[in-house]
Amino acid sequence: MALFNFGRKKAAPEPHSLEGFLQGYSIEVMPRTAEKIENFRAILPLGTRVYVAHIEGTPIEDMVATAKRIGDEGYPVMPHFPARIIKDKATLADWVARYKDVGVNQALLLAGGVTTPHGDFHSSMQLLESEAFTGFDRLHVAGHPEGNKDIDPDGSDRAVMEAARWKSAFTERTDAQMAMATQFCFEAGPVIAWVNRLQAEGIKLPVHIGIAGPAKLQTLIKFAIACGVGPSLRVLQKRAMDVTKLLLPYEPTEVLAGLAAHKAANPGFGIEQVHFFPLGGIKTNAQWVTEHGGASGVPATATA
């Protein structure tokens, strides 16, 4: 397969364009999905941050091997550290050491989707306080634009916002660059309101907004329900009732255009980058981003 010419020089994208908004995007893989990609350079711009999701039951050896392979191909790698599947401090230290040995210096810290913790940890805040990540260049934490019923069973976002304030304050205690990578949403309005609220409450973490990549509608609805996506799920439900659109693949053009337009009109708006969940496949997602300008590459500041 011929490699895309991602290294070509291009004029700087206009700030109001979708291309400008997509510049510096990141994408998520799992070991089993990464195995299907013969060469990441054939589909992703060099320098694209690749998250490696750690699903319960995945051996740490598989995670580290995937991180090494992707890093060796020229990409900054950000593995997940789900607190609730980490048994104890010794296990955490072992995982960190294994990743460091293959050149990883970035991590996404999150509670994880497990209801009952496997050991000593139950939150990303405990992982941050453990000091296990000293020397990492970048640490990301999870964000929930539409709340999280596992954290706030009453349907409010009280605990979620309290945690966000704590994580923001932690930026003063670490040399690592921090950001908030969010759950995916399907509607721009709620995201804009949430990001504005974070800023109003003094939460300084830049937002890397989660976006579901192109996929079959049925696939997206299944993942959205399983992941606890909130009110923006209605966008998919409304689409499912339209027979003319039911069989067409969903594309995130509308939600991204809305966010890009708001960012262009409000340069201080807190979304820093776009993070894709390739629910319809990595190749499909990467091709869609390329076709919409994402081949412009990653700014130098985004790989720090």
The CA–CA distances, whole Å, from 179 to 59, 106, 107, 204 equal 27, 11, 11, 9
What is the Cα–Cα distance from 61 to 290, expressed in whole angstroms?
A: 32
Per-domain residue ranges of the chain: 18-303
The token duo for 8 is 């070509």
Measured between its terminal Cα atoms, the distance across the chain in Å is 30
pLDDT at residue number 151: 67
For 18-303, CATH gives 3.20.20.220
| 3-class DSSP state of 109 | strand
Is the separation of the CB atoms in 26 and 51 below 8 Å?
yes
Task: Tell me what pLDDT residue 113 has.
Answer: 76
Determine phi and psi for 36, rounding to 5 degrees: -80, -10
Return averaged pLDDT per consecutive 10 residues of the chain, 304 residues in all.
Answer: 42 60 95 96 94 96 98 97 97 98 98 87 96 97 77 68 93 96 89 94 95 82 59 57 59 94 95 95 94 64 40
pLDDT for residue 272: 96
Closest CA to 16 of 300, 269, 185, 207: 269
Enumerate residues 6+ apart whose C-beta is below 8 A from 272: 24, 179, 206, 207, 208
Predicted TM-score (pTM) of this structure: 0.85
